[in-house]
Structure formats: structure tokens, C-alpha cells
Amino acid sequence: MAKGTATAASRRSDIVSAAIEVFSEIGYYRATTAQVAERASISQPYVYRFFTKESLLVEALDVSWQRIVKAFQQVIDTEEPATLESGLIRAYEEIMESQRNEILLQMQAQTIREAPVRDAMRQGTGQVKQLVEDAFTKAGIADARARTTNFLARGMLCNVAMALEMPELFVKE
């Protein structure tokens, strides 16, 4: 990769990281690209070189979903069938702890009606659902579809518990 391309890719990543922080802290509708630019220590026109506000949110959501997919895939590739679900739970708990802003961003995005954002949420949720369901099926887990739905629902409850700072809502094995 050429140096200029590497720098542009790095700056693009910095912008997305800043957007995740700003959008999760202030909210997508209240946040501005100027605030994102300030957080990334760049100019607002440089943000617009890569993104509109909406495309920036979509990119941030994609980053957050891909982090979950990658973490879950690592568990699927290394865990035995008997410990698969608990391994996925641990992986998600680690993401919730280390990437809290990404989870908060996903929660906010569930309420945004713009088609590209809804599509990003549907795609991410669908990809995670299919990955987990396929892994449960391959592991021989009975009623894999229902177990997947339950697994995802428990994860969403954990998201709410984290956002509200109500650890008593966390579902433990």
C-alpha cells in the first residue's frame, strides 16, 4: 500500500473511531461532523472528504458489527461444542467492557429510521444471528434456532443493563 493510501486509511479509521465516541456520547442527531473532526484532531472538510454524517454512522456500525463477528468466529473456531455458548457469552462480555461506545451506538441506531442505518443494523444483526445459529447447529445444540433467538435476546438485555448501569439485569449462566 502506498504511503498516501496508508495515511488516508489511517485517517479514515481515526474519523470512524472519533464518530463512535461522539455519536455514543452525544447521540447521532445532536452530534455534528465538526465535533467528530475535533475529536479526531482534523478539519471538518477532511471528514467530508470521506463521509457524510449518515455514511459515517453506517461505517461506524459496520465496524462494531464486524468486531462482534470476528470475536464470535474466533470462539467458534476454538471452542468445543459443550462450551460454545459460554465462550460466545464471554466474548460478548469482553466486547461490552472494552468497546462500550460501540454497543451504545448500536442501541441508538435501533431507533433511527433512515434506510441506510436500518439496513446496516439489519445486516449486522442478521450476520451475527446466522453465524451463531450455524455454529449452534454444527455443534449439535438442540433447537438451534430457538437457542439463537434466546442468546440474542439475552445479549440485548445485557446491553440495556449496561446502558442503564443496572448490573442486576445481567443474565448469568
Find the mean pLDDT for residues 16-42.
Answer: 97
Contact 137, 156 (CB under 8 A): no
Residue 142: which CATH number?
A: 1.10.357.10
Please tell me whether residue 78 adopts helix, strand or coil conformation.
helix
pTM above 0.85, yes or no: yes
Q: Which domain holds residue 32?
A: 3-169
Find the mean pLDDT for residues 126-133.
Answer: 98
Q: What is the pLDDT of residue 148?
A: 98
Share of the chain above pLDDT 90, in %: 88
CA separation for the pair 56, 71 (Å, rounded): 23
Q: What is the DSSP letter of 173?
A: -
Q: What is the pLDDT of residue 171?
A: 61
Q: What is the pLDDT of residue 10?
A: 87
Q: What is the pLDDT of residue 169?
A: 79
pLDDT in tens, 83-126: 999 999 999 999 999 999 999 999 999 999 999 999 999 999 99
The domain tally of the chain equals: 1
pLDDT over 70 at 134, yes or no: yes
Q: What is the pLDDT of residue 16?
A: 97
CA separation for the pair 165, 100 (Å, rounded): 12
Q: How many residues does the chain have?
A: 173
What are the residues whose beta carbons fall under 8 Å from the beta carbon of 53, sequence distance 6 or more? Answer: 31, 32, 33
Q: What is the pLDDT of residue 173?
A: 55
CA separation for the pair 71, 68 (Å, rounded): 5
Burial 138-149 (b: 16+ CB within 10 A, else e): ebebeebeebbe
Q: What is the pLDDT of residue 65?
A: 98
Find the mean pLDDT for residues 29-35.
Answer: 97
CA separation for the pair 104, 121 (Å, rounded): 13
